[in-house]
């Protein structure tokens, strides 16, 4: 951490540049005092678990940085469970698991912290192992009202069951999570088919991918050009045979190359060669994530809309990318968590970036993000609230599209767990 000032050293440049009122590192009783409710202006506690979001710090707000005091990892190998502190980043989790030949369905980046898990957690492995929240076994932490909680999946009483569901998908609004117990999986080799494609080839690959089995998934990004990743886990002979059959179809795309990795942990998605500007210290950014079902007969219309969006992007730092989910993630009851959009197959996200302190460009870029969102809504009508945007005009709509008919239920839970709105507001 940087010393003697209120700068927070985190991957998200917006948050890193924020002049926070105070940095704290531990949950103590005085954290839940009357400070927030007596403030002359609306204020709440920002929580940093990994620091990849623009909401983990704000000018004039207090940030609780969990990474220093809540970073322990403990594996219960006989139970295939791992307990991690709320400040453990995915890179450290995966490095630890690899030593024990284990894995967990993290996303495309190893930078996020527990917020990735608690807001859903979509991974290239989700089609086989479910979302990250589907693999939570226990949760410890503090509700916004200061109450300590310790919940075990298999021993919940009737009053704890709704809270358990709420914490899976909406935890940032309800509680400060200091420990999570997670189910782990045996690690297996991964094969990746990757490379640049044109828009016609992307349409064909999307069409192919909507019939993929559980061990395959498609990820792609459209910046200046289109880059695709076809992911395949090979854990037995059946997986190997399935992949070999698909390989014949992948070979029709001459620009795609095949790479073999010992484990998921060795993959570097969206490498520096793509020059995506994500960690450019001169830029600020926002990300909005969408959700929708199979594209089916609309694939070509969607790709045409995508081309138009990219042609109109305000600078080279902006892009759109997409992850595939489905199969295992669709098996779970929508009421089992507050990730309610279980029919989803695709999660596109719009990455909007601008030169920091350039307010005019910020306005132009955010307008592009919102216009792009409108054009993609017919295909992806829901939201995955992986980042909280209560500082943007889109926040209310994002919350509604994330939680749908269960929003009233979540607001009731919020009033019970966080009556003074110490945590981010809904």
Same domain, 195 and 53: no
- The answer to whether residue 152 is domain-embedded is yes
Residue 69: burial class (beta carbons within 10 Å; 0-12, 13-18, 19+): middle
Q: Of 43-47, 145-149, 180-184, 270-274, which gets the smallest average pLDDT?
A: 270-274
* 5 assigned to some structural domain: no
Q: CA-to-CA distance for 258 and 228, rounded, in angstroms?
A: 12
CATH number at residue 177: 3.30.465.10
pLDDT of residue 159: 87
Say yes or no: 161 and 249 in one domain: no
Across 304-308, 342-346, 422-426, least confident range:
422-426
Average pLDDT of the chain is 93
Query: Could you tell me if 25 and 151 lie in one domain?
Result: no
Same domain flag for 216 and 302: yes
Domain end point (choices 143, 164, 186): 186
In this structure, the answer to whether residues 157 and 237 fall within a common structural domain is no
Domain boundary among 186, 220, 239: 186
Look at residues 371, 386, 365, 379 and name the one whose alpha carbon lies nearest to residue 304: 379
Q: Are residues 299 and 333 in the same domain?
A: yes
Q: Is residue 422 a part of any domain in this protein?
A: no
DSSP secondary structure code for residue 93 in this structure:
H
Structural domain for 172, as ranges: 73-186
In this structure, are 31 and 141 located in the same domain? no
Q: In what order do the strands lie in the sheet with 190-197?
A: 257-261, 190-197, 226-233, 216-222, 319-324, 346-355, 283-291, 382-384
Q: What is the pLDDT of residues 358-401, one digit of tens each?
A: 999 999 999 999 999 999 999 999 999 999 999 999 999 999 99
| Percent of the chain with pLDDT strictly greater than 70 | 95
Residue 119 lies in a domain: yes
Of 346 and 37, the one with more pLDDT: 346
- What's the mean pLDDT in 155-160? 91
**Judgement on whether residues 50 and 138 belong to the same structural domain of the protein:** no
Residue in the block written with tokens 């910020």:
362
* Number of folded domains that form the chain: 3
pLDDT score, position 4: 37
- Split at pLDDT 50, 70, 90, the class of 270 is confident
Residues 102 and 43 in one domain: no
Q: What pLDDT is attached to residue 39?
A: 55
Residue 162 inside a domain? The answer is yes
- Tell me, yes or no, whether 218 and 293 share the same domain: yes
pLDDT of 2 higher than 50: no
Closest CA to 277 of 349, 347, 223: 223
Strands 62-65 and 22-24, by their bridges, are parallel
Residue 200: inside a domain: yes
- Does the residue 265 lie in any domain? yes
User: What would the mean pLDDT of 52-73 be, rounded to a whole number?
Assistant: 95
pLDDT at 3: 43
Q: Cα torsion at 112, 7, 24, 26 (round to 10°)?
A: 30
pLDDT tens digits, one per residue of 112-145:
999 999 999 999 999 999 999 999 999 999 999 9
Determine how β-strand 319-324 pairs with β-strand 102-103.
Answer: unpaired
Classify residue 416: in a domain, yes or no.
no
Do 349 and 366 belong together in one domain? yes
CA distances (Å), origin 117, targets 68, 90, 110, 192, 379: 19, 9, 12, 24, 25
Residue 13 has pLDDT above 80, yes or no: yes
Residue that finishes a domain, picked among 132, 153, 186: 186
Task: Match 């138009």 to its residue by tokens.
Answer: 308
38 pLDDT higher than 60: no
In this predicted structure, the answer to whether residue 61 has a pLDDT above a threshold of 70 is: yes
Q: How confident is the model at residue 334 (pLDDT cuts 50, 70, 90)?
A: confident
Higher pLDDT, 48 or 272: 48
The CATH number of residue 355's host domain is 3.40.462.20
pLDDT at 336: 92
Same domain, 274 and 223: yes
Report the run of H or E that residue 396 belongs to, with start and end: helix 395-403
* Non-local CB neighbours of 422 within 8 Å, separated by 6+ positions: 32, 36, 44, 45, 144, 145
């Amino acid at each position: 951490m940087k010393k003697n000032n209120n700068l927070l050293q985190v991957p998200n440049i917006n948050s890193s540049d924020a002049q926070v009122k105070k940095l704290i590192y531990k949950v103590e009783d005085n954290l839940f005092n009357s400070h927030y409710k007596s403030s002359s202006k609306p204020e709440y506690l920002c929580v940093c678990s990994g620091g990849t979001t623009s909401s983990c710090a704000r000018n004039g707000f207090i940030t609780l940085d969990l990474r220093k005091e809540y970073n322990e990892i403990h594996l219960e190998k006989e139970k295939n469970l791992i307990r991690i502190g709320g400040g453990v980043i995915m890179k450290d989790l995966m490095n630890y698991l690899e030593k024990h030949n284990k894995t967990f369905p993290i996303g495309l980046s190893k930078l996020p912290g527990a917020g990735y898990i608690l807001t859903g957690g979509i991974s290239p492995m989700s089609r086989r192992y479910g979302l990250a929240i589907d693999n939570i076994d226990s949760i410890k932490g503090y509700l916004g009202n200061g109450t300590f909680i310790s919940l075990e999946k298999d021993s919940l009483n009737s009053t704890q069951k709704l809270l358990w569901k709420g914490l899976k998908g909406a935890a940032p609004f309800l509680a400060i999570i200091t420990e999570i117990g997670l189910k782990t999986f045996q690690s297996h080799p991964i094969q990746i088919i990757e490379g640049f494609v044109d828009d016609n080839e992307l349409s064909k690959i999307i069409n192919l991918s909507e019939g993929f089995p559980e061990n395959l998934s498609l990820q792609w990004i459209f910046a200046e050009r289109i880059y695709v990743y076809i992911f395949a886990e090979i854990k037995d002979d059946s997986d190997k045979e399935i992949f070999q059959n698909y390989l014949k179809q992948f070979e029709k795309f001459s620009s795609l190359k095949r790479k073999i990795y010992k484990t998921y942990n060795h993959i570097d998605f969206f490498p520096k060669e793509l020059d995506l500007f994500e960690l450019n210290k001169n830029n600020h950014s926002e990300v909005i994530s969408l959700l929708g079902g199979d594209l089916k007969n609309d694939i070509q219309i969607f790709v045409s809309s995508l081309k138009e969006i990219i042609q109109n992007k305000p600078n080279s730092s902006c892009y759109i990318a997409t992850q595939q989910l489905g199969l295992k993630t669709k098996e779970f009851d929508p009421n089992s968590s507050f990730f309610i959009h279980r029919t989803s197959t695709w999660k596109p996200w719009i990455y909007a970036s601008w030169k920091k302190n350039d307010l005019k460009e910020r306005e132009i870029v955010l307008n592009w993000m919102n216009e792009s969102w409108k054009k993609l809504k017919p295909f992806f009508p829901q939201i995955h609230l992986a980042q909280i945007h209560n500082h943007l005009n889109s926040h209310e709509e994002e919350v509604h599209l994330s939680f749908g008919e269960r929003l009233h239920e979540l607001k009731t839970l919020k009033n019970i767990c966080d009556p003074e709105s110490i945590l981010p507001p809904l």
